[in-house]
Amino acid sequence: MKALTHSKIILTILILGLAILPVILSDAPWPVQARDYLFGNAKADTGADNTVSAIYLGYRAMDTLGETLVLLVSITGTMSILINLGRHKMDEEAVKFSLEPEKLPRHSLRTNLIEVVASKLGPIVLLFGFYVMLYGHISPGGGFQGGVILASGIVFLALGTELKTKLTNTIVLSRIESLSFLFLMLASISGVFFESGFFGNPVKTVQNLSPNFIILLNIIIGLKVGTSIAVMCIAMMGGSHDH
């Protein structure tokens, strides 16, 4: 019985390997037309120097909206599952972050390393996240990347200290998330009133499109992604962390 299941597993893996081996080993040349078009026109079409930003906030901004919606749905599902779990927990005190000093050493999430490092690192990581987010149109980075760095900064702050900051309160974070989604919707329809269509760039200058619209979308998406992933991480590490 045991040997049979092992041979079945090996057979399955072999079949999958044979199926995707041609995909991995194909030597078809990669098409260069799209790259050449973007090299020539991305700046004029969207106003962003970073062509990746130009694609996901200019040419395919609708897809970014869908991606944000997927993130929202996933966060909603995760939070509803985890919050229903917490309601049945007897010792909810044991999973809070800001514990009384005499309880600290027994708590599994609090080690000496976290005590020393996390609270000092938190603000610096937050600053770096805002940098990556705000300069996404001219340098590597953008809303999603900056948002994830923001989330790690907030998680550092939540793990770190007894410092009472509103940034690690899940209620405040959820409000920021909902507000930034509202602003994303408003920004997406703002182009309609300036004759450039849904998700069109409303800021027009004479020759080049201004990158301001890309910067605005980067900020909104960064706040949205950062707060939602931070809320999820805080919920997964245990509890709502409200003061």
Of residues 77 and 105, the one with the C-beta less far from other proteins: 77
Least CB distance to other proteins at residue 49 (A): 5
- Inter-residue contact 75 to 228 (CB < 8 Å): yes
Residues that bind other proteins (CB under 8 A): 9, 12-13, 16-17, 20-21, 24-25, 30, 32, 34-35, 38-39, 42-43, 49-52, 54-56, 60, 63-64, 67, 70-71, 73-75, 77-78, 81-82, 85, 88, 138-140, 142, 144, 225, 229, 232, 236
Least CB distance to other proteins at residue 35 (A): 4
- Inter-residue contact 128 to 149 (CB < 8 Å): yes
Q: Give the pair of three-digit tokens for residue 234.
A: 């805080």
- Inter-residue contact 147 to 68 (CB < 8 Å): no
Q: 151: Cβ–Cβ under 8 A, 6 or more apart, which residues?
A: 129, 225, 226, 227, 229, 230, 233
Least CB distance to other proteins at residue 8 (A): 9
Residue 209, exposed/middle/buried by CB under 10 A (0-12, 13-18, 19+)?
A: buried
Of residues 9 and 171, the one with the C-beta less far from other proteins: 9
Of residues 36 and 242, the one with the C-beta less far from other proteins: 36
What is the spatial distance between Cα 173 and Cα 167, in angstroms, rounded to a whole number? 7
Least CB distance to other proteins at residue 20 (A): 7
Of residues 119 and 133, the one with the C-beta less far from other proteins: 133
Of residues 70 and 113, the one with the C-beta less far from other proteins: 70
